[in-house]
Chains A and B, each alone.
Chain A
Amino acid sequence: MASLVGSRVERKEDKKLLTGRGKYTADVNFIHQTYAYFVRSPHARAEIKKVDISKASKAPGVVAVLTGADIANDKIGGLIAGWRIKSEDGSDMKVPAHPPLANESVNYVGDHVAVVIAESLDEARSAADLVKVDYKILKAVVKTKDAMDSDQIYKDIPKNMCFDWLLGDRAKVKEAFDKADKIIKIDIINNRLIPNAMEPRAANADYNPSTEEITLYTTSQNPHLARIIISAFNGVAPENKLRVIAPDVGGGFGSKIYPYAEEVVCSWAAKKIERPVKWVADRTESFLSDCHGRDHVTHAELAVKNDGTFLGFKNETIANIGAYASVFGTVTPTYLFGPCATGVYKMPAAYTNVKAVYTNTAPVDAYRGAGRPEATYTIETLVEKAARELGMDPAEIRMKNFPTEFPFQQTLVHSVDSGDYNAGLKKAMEMGEYESFEKRKKESESRGKLRGIGFCTYFEACGIAPSPVVMMLGCGIGLWESAEVRFNPTGNVTVFTGSHSHGQGHDTTFAQIAADQLGIPIENIEIAHGDTDKGPFGYGTYGSRSLTVGGTAIVKACDKIVAKGKRVAAKMLEVNEDEVDFNNGEFVVAKSNKKKTIGEVAFACYLPGTYGEVKSPLPDGEEPGLKETSFFDPANFSFPAGSHICEVEVDQDTGETKVVKYTAVDDFGTIINPLIVEGQVHGGLAQGIGQALYENCHYDDSGQLVTASYMDYTMPRADNFTDFNLGFTCTPATSNPLGTKGCGEAGAIAAPPAVMNAVIDAIGKEISMPATAEKVWAACNKKNKNSEAA
């Protein structure tokens, strides 16, 4: 049988998903179901003086109206920050209380104040209008840059600062800067984004009073994490009495990694009223209350020699984490950001300092790339500026500073196991026809357009992650992954994975891996995920980890299956175990025609006997059945890398910028399914180009979200893009047997600086993201004046 790894197997899940046969949380209904509608704060910051539910409680169809006081009475715990960060001075990060329903204050528009539960959604919504909340409106803190000098939001958190974190060595950096020929400086903004998963968040919680069990259907990238948090921290029900099911989920991009207030409230309320409680966000609620992404203000400096050698790097960043510290809200701008900020280069000295600030905006958490897009944008715009100021070619300055020996000990944290950055960049330059750029530029100019070219060479750390390492750094959980490979008696297989597919195509990729390992047809393999009652505990999907960590667990579980199979086959074939080889689904004995298929062995394992005589195919002491579990904790992160080259055309009259050529050459290590990988790159590029040119979350000075619908939030559309020219290089990862590195986030990481460098090259002025038409027009028309960052 030909190997499936490396082939373009069409996605098994697409038939279901594209023909409306998927099953999403909103499709789940229970008898006696009730509907929840949340009363949300219309103010960015206010004290709650009083919540009067008397009218709402009497409205038609209303079953219950619950408030923060009820949550407090029932001792339901608050939402948590999952990663503990320490400040440079050794003090712990400061975290405000975050009750699922606000009790004393509301801190962003959309914050949860009460929930109305009724027989129908219309009744719940109408009654919600009758909940009277007496607010004392306070001045909101909105702007990232000004947060530390604004009114203090929380009593115990001076300067609105969660932490002031340092990674690196300030003294060494100073030394390096003292020796520099030139210091290159940038001030940039990493614009705030709203995730906009196609499927809005939803929850449907069913409580069985006889068994005291809650079944929670929810839009989660990580149902086991949802269960442990709702059990251990919110205290809604013990883990053995809480089943969390994340059925088909329509995209997450990080925003669905962890449970939100709504899931906690629905689970708790279902238990309280002893009826199922369903909630489905409308699009406005998604805009207001899904955790947002990015939102950094950065000053960075690069010390260089005149020949282009990098000597040192400084990164001073203010990260807006919103009104509350969300589950991965504190790690995203620290350990997922700082280490990668020195880029793909040898950098003798470096530090990253991040001041995380609270503001009266929605919480900010991981969003596709989580920290690495921010890091890459910083270093890659800085490097390109260095090339400009030194009069060097942008490719040359990069190659000069690439490491060539692997493993490469990167400046701040990581030991990068493998890579070949020169090969990637050279291939990208060839595919992107770098040599003939000037010709294309002239051609654009002949049509009155400005053309620019921009590079981005990146590496990122994903495949998260070694548990002891992340827990040492403050993570509240381990990040290994599990798999259970279960043969059914008739020879087909169900693979349970602790990771979760919400667009990534695991049903296909994981089946390809198992098919190769077990030598059985892919049609005979089912991938099961997303249900805490099925399969072992797992850690879900994010951080481009599923294949590298979860896929490896599958390989290891398959290895165990084969090992047991060998023992059983040996007994069945009446040979010694070491005489049995396993090839293409068959246990064979060399130089003989003796063999058993893995299906025959599985059958024997489940039906271990013979008619008419007492004879077992199982060796003495071997248990019946054929099912193996593996928990894989990786020894290292994985480090995809790549070179992206973007060309844009700018219309000076209107400022409109079009991406006209885009070349991406990525090294994801081994590629299991090129079709799926290309799709992942396309999606990432769409989001990355979206961030560079279009998307921007905007709060006004009072903290109202102006971009709360598609009328104002510019989601990129297909016609905003050109064809993407994709290529790959491959240096397999050494930290996992598959050699994979992770591809899910690369496009979103690499595209923003590639696009922005191209825009800056075209117009000859520095501007920050997003390069909207007006901003570019203003920069083009501001004669002799360097336009400032925003």
Chain B
Amino acid sequence: MKTFNYHSVKDVKEASKLSSSKSAFLAGGMTTIPSMKLGLANYKDIINIKGIKKLSGIKVSGKTVTIGSTTRHAEVANSKEIKKAIPSLSALAEGIGDPQVRNRGTIGGSIANNDPAADYPSACIALNAVIHTNNRKIDAEKFFRGMFETSLKSGEIIESIEFAIPQKSSYQKYPNPASRYAIVGVYVAKHKSGVNVAVTGAKSCVYNDKNLSDILSKNFSADAINNTKISASGMNSDIHASADYRANMVKVFAKKAVEAC
């Protein structure tokens, strides 16, 4: 690891001001620190935002669940309120990594990083999330732009994520047997306005499978998508899973999710 300047800040403004193209915010550090140790990333400044009180916490209103960006995975997994409002979201958090990762990693860090195999981005898409930053609100559909790419601008800080409470929902993940990130994760959520089928792990970035969403909006049953063909084009292919296999898994896990709703 190369040497860097460490800053611990108390408010969002200060954090934003210190940031540059050569800095990273330190939330859980579960992505940043391993990449620095492996020499994959080098930063001039590391800005610890865990001390900013208002960034952490869980609020449930009638229609939405709002989670502060530095809220740890373990807190989401164990939150009674979330378990009641959107049980699938707690279950998703419970399935991230291992206890050490869940006790440090944060929701803001996860979506800012936008790993193609991360779990939370699918929740944002499926649950029509709105990402609140220090200067705007971004719809989830517009937030995730590509592999490790979001619409966040330099110095922009995620403050919270606001999820719409669905009628029914389920997240089903086929974990990579080695890393336990998602090889394919499918988040199905049925809202009054229609069904979302968000898929992570399968392509370079999380996406809403419009075709599956449309079919399920009309007929919310696993059988309805039995004969739907999922194209392997654009799907990831690596030593753990070929594009064809991933295409198959999207369907299998979409059905599992619908059945579990």
Contacts and interface: CB of A to CB of B under 8 A. Distances in A.
Nearest to B178: A714
Contact of B179 (A711, A772, A773): A711
B179 A707 contact: no
Contacts of B252: 653-654
A783 to B, nearest CB: 15
Nearest to B255: A653
Query: Among the interface residues B2, B177, B239, B248, which one has the most CB atoms of the partner chain A within 10 A?
Result: B177
A711 B176 CA distance: 9
B241 A715 contact: no
B240 A774 contact: yes
A712 B245 contact: no
A706 B240 CA distance: 11
B245 A714 contact: no
B179 A712 contact: yes
B177 A710 contact: no
Contacts of A773: 174, 177
Contacts of A711: 176, 178-179, 181
A654 B178 contact: no
A167 interface: no
A64 to B, nearest CB: 23
Interface in B117-141: none
A654 B249 contact: yes
B140 to A, nearest CB: 26
Interface string A698-712: 100000001100111
Contact of B177 (A772, A777, A778): A772
B179 A710 contact: yes
B219 interface: no
Contacts of B181: 711
Interface in B230-249: 239-242, 245, 248-249
Contacts of B2: 126
A691 B174 CA distance: 21
B174 A712 contact: no
Contacts of A655: 245
Most buried by B among A707, A710, A773: A773
A526 B248 CA distance: 59
B242 A710 contact: no
Nearest to A284: B38
Interface in A760-786: 772-774, 777-778
B260 to A, nearest CB: 15
A402 interface: no
Nearest to A282: B37
A419 B174 CA distance: 45
A122 to B, nearest CB: 8
A712 B248 contact: no
Nearest to B249: A654
A408 interface: no
A767 to B, nearest CB: 15
B177 A694 contact: yes
B245 A774 contact: yes
Nearest to A126: B2
B241 A774 contact: yes
B178 A777 contact: no
A698 B177 contact: no
Interface in B142-185: 174, 176-179, 181
Contacts of B178: 694, 707, 710-715
A456 B240 CA distance: 28
Contacts of B177: 694, 714, 772-773
A777 B248 contact: yes
Interface in A704-749: 706-707, 710-715
A654 B255 CA distance: 12
B241 to A, nearest CB: 6
Contacts of B249: 654
B239 A706 contact: yes
B113 to A, nearest CB: 15
A778 B245 contact: yes
Contacts of B242: 774
B239 A707 contact: yes
A698 B179 contact: no
Contacts of A778: 245
Contacts of B245: 655, 774, 777-778
A715 B245 CA distance: 22
A122 B1 CA distance: 8
A122 B39 CA distance: 12
Interface in A646-669: 653-655
A361 to B, nearest CB: 16
Interface string A357-390: 0000000000000000000000000000000000
Contacts of B179: 710-712
Contacts of A714: 177-178
A698 B248 contact: no
Interface in B1-55: 1-2, 38
Contacts of A654: 174, 249, 252
Contacts of A122: 1
Residue among B2, B38, B240 with the highest chain A CB neighbour number at 10 A:
B240
Nearest to A129: B39
A655 B1 CA distance: 40
Nearest to A711: B179
B76 to A, nearest CB: 22
Contacts of A777: 245, 248
A707 B38 CA distance: 15
B166 to A, nearest CB: 25
Nearest to A716: B177
A772 B178 CA distance: 11
Contacts of A715: 178
A653 B38 CA distance: 37
A778 B1 CA distance: 42
B188 to A, nearest CB: 17
A714 B240 CA distance: 10
A571 B95 CA distance: 74
Nearest to A772: B177
A713 B239 CA distance: 10
A655 B241 CA distance: 11
B85 to A, nearest CB: 29
A710 B177 CA distance: 10
A262 to B, nearest CB: 20
Nearest to A693: B177
Interface in B174-226: 174, 176-179, 181
Nearest to A713: B178
Nearest to A720: B177
Interface in A35-74: none
A698 B174 contact: no
Contacts of B240: 712, 772, 774
A696 to B, nearest CB: 8
Contacts of A653: 248, 252
A281 to B, nearest CB: 14
Contact of B239 (A126, A710, A712): A712
- Most A C-beta atoms less than 10 A away, residue of B242, B245, B249: B245
B67 to A, nearest CB: 27
B54 to A, nearest CB: 34
Nearest to A700: B239
A706 B178 CA distance: 13
24 contacts: A122-B1, A126-B2, A284-B38, A653-B252, A654-B252, A655-B245, A694-B177, A698-B239, A707-B239, A710-B178, A711-B176, A711-B178, A711-B181, A712-B179, A712-B239, A712-B240, A713-B178, A772-B177, A773-B174, A773-B177, A774-B240, A774-B245, A777-B245, A778-B245
Interface of A: 122, 126, 284, 653-655, 694, 698, 706-707, 710-715, 772-774, 777-778
Q: Which 7 A-B pairs have the closest CB atoms?
A: A714-B178, A711-B179, A714-B177, A774-B245, A653-B252, A712-B178, A698-B239
Interface of B: 1-2, 38, 174, 176-179, 181, 239-242, 245, 248-249, 252
Given A710-B179, A711-B181, A712-B240, 11 more contacts: A122-B1, A126-B2, A654-B252, A706-B239, A710-B178, A711-B176, A711-B178, A772-B240, A774-B240, A774-B241, A774-B245
